Structure 1
Amino acid sequence: MKKRNSLVQGIIYLALFVVLIILVKTVDVAAIGPENTEIGLSHINQTVHEVFGINMFWYKLTEVFGILALLVVAIFAVMGLVQLIKRKSIAKVDREILCLGGVYAVTLVTYALFEKVVINYRPIIEEGAEHVEASFPSSHTMLIVTVFATLTFVIGEYVKADKLQGLIRIVSLVIVCLTIVGRLVCGVHWFTDILGGCLISLCFINLFDHFLRKAD
């Protein structure tokens, strides 16, 4: 039952992500971005952006969280490589690491895809950039939410101390929450970019849970 539910939930979140893309491309589209770039659901997006404005503290904080997420990815990548070398078979690498590798790969592919298939552009031109950049979904939100949420699923296999396990889970969930809030209020994304990042992350997390359980 749990396997089926995780799979179904993952598909539902993917469907909602696709629906959001359709809405952003077709509903209440207006040229409210820099360089006259258009964004759907423009009244909602513009209102949220004007309420929060630009906040560099939250921008820098979420950048740090992004670095931490990449560090987590690197740690598990090294662990997987060491296991592969020692055990001489990818089939003998921990199923948790294989499933993490899969979700990390899908996240990377999704990031690359939406750099090429541009749904909308950022509400600001960032410092050092010559032109406005792709913005949907928020790649920081997608990366950090996916990495730290899936970390909570597997940490019990690699950290045996109950208190440390609990601390890592709490810190991971705090980082997830602060990232969602921070990327919204820092002003470098539209509201729908953050929503898109959350939806696709929830899809990845549920699919990760499904395949991890299936590998048991």
Structure 2
Amino acid sequence: MKFEKNSSTKPICLLLVTVIFSVLTAFVDKAAIGPEGTSVGFSSLNGAVANLLGYNEMFDKISDLVMVLAFLVVAFFAFMGVVRLVQTKSISEVGKIILGLGMLYLVVAIIYVAFSKIPINYRPIIPPGETELETSYPSSHVLIICSVFGSAIIAWKRLFAEKSYVRILTVAAAVLMVVGVCARMLAGVHWATDILAGILFSLTLVSVYAAYIKD
């Protein structure tokens, strides 16, 4: 990827904040407050929020639904990319807007896999129907929802000429991001810092994408 010097400042700053926050979460105020005695960083904050919220199945399902909608957006852009590839028979002709989205989605997948192997936090509960501990940092729902809808807003503005459609899609995406993040927090299946980390990671990725496609 090529970036102009000015356009790379924001992504670099967000990346530094995300990395620093992740390191702090791994080491600061750790205490065994999780299921089966698992340790959690920022335990005072996370424990207080978890005790306040508890588990809510309805919000859990709402966040699942929003993530499904995010996957539909991914499928839409993937379809656009395939159509352009068939028409032009050249990957370079697909366009940096679509190719950039593909790279962003790939990085999201890599982050998901990587942190499933790096247990900075385990979930505050073992949800109904599950029997094993599951890594919790960052929230994959928040990461996917915010990364997909945030980058989609940028892409739609570049791809579609009809401004009224873009406005409708932008508002819908923004609402779904807010609903998805709030529902995931209120579901009680993540620590508060997991939610914040998902937001930070997605902000970083979306800012990199915005810098990449900037003319």
| Gap regions ≥5 residues in structure 1 | none
Match of 2:53 in 1: 52
Match of 2:151 in 1: 150
Q: In the TM superposition, what is the alpha-carbon distance from 1:158 to its structure 2 partner? A: 3.9
CA distance in structure 2 between the partners assigned to 1:156 and 1:60 by the alignment? 30
Match of 2:44 in 1: 43
Q: In the TM superposition, what is the alpha-carbon distance from 1:33 to its structure 2 partner? A: 0.5
Match of 1:21 in 2: 22
Could you say what the CA RMSD is over the residues aligned between the two structures, in angstroms? 1.4
Q: TM-score, normalised by structure 1?
A: 0.94
CA distance in structure 1 between the partners assigned to 2:193 and 2:7 by the alignment? 24
Determine if contact 1:4/1:210 at 8 Å carries over to the other structure: no
Q: How does 1:31-110 map to 2 (within 5 A)?
A: 31-110=32-111
Determine if contact 1:126/1:132 at 8 Å carries over to the other structure: no
Q: In the TM superposition, what is the alpha-carbon distance from 1:54 to its structure 2 partner? A: 1.5
**Greater CA drift, 52-61 or 169-178:** 52-61
Q: In the TM superposition, what is the alpha-carbon distance from 1:9 to its structure 2 partner? A: 1.5
Percent identical:
37
1:103-158 alpha-carbon deviations (Å, 9 max, x no partner): 11111111111111221100000222221100000000000001001111111344
Q: In the TM superposition, what is the alpha-carbon distance from 1:95 to its structure 2 partner? A: 1.8
Letter matched to residue 165 of structure 1: V
How many residues align? The count is: 213
CA distance in structure 2 between the partners assigned to 1:10 and 1:206 by the alignment? 5
| Gap regions ≥5 residues in structure 2 | none
Q: How does 1:125-204 map to 2 (within 5 A)?
A: 125-204=126-205
Q: Name the CA shift for 1:3/1:60 in 2 (closer, same or farther; >3 Å).
A: farther
1:44-87 alpha-carbon deviations (Å, 9 max, x no partner): 00111112222222111110010011111111112111211220
Q: What's the secondary structure of 1:110's corresponding residue?
A: helix
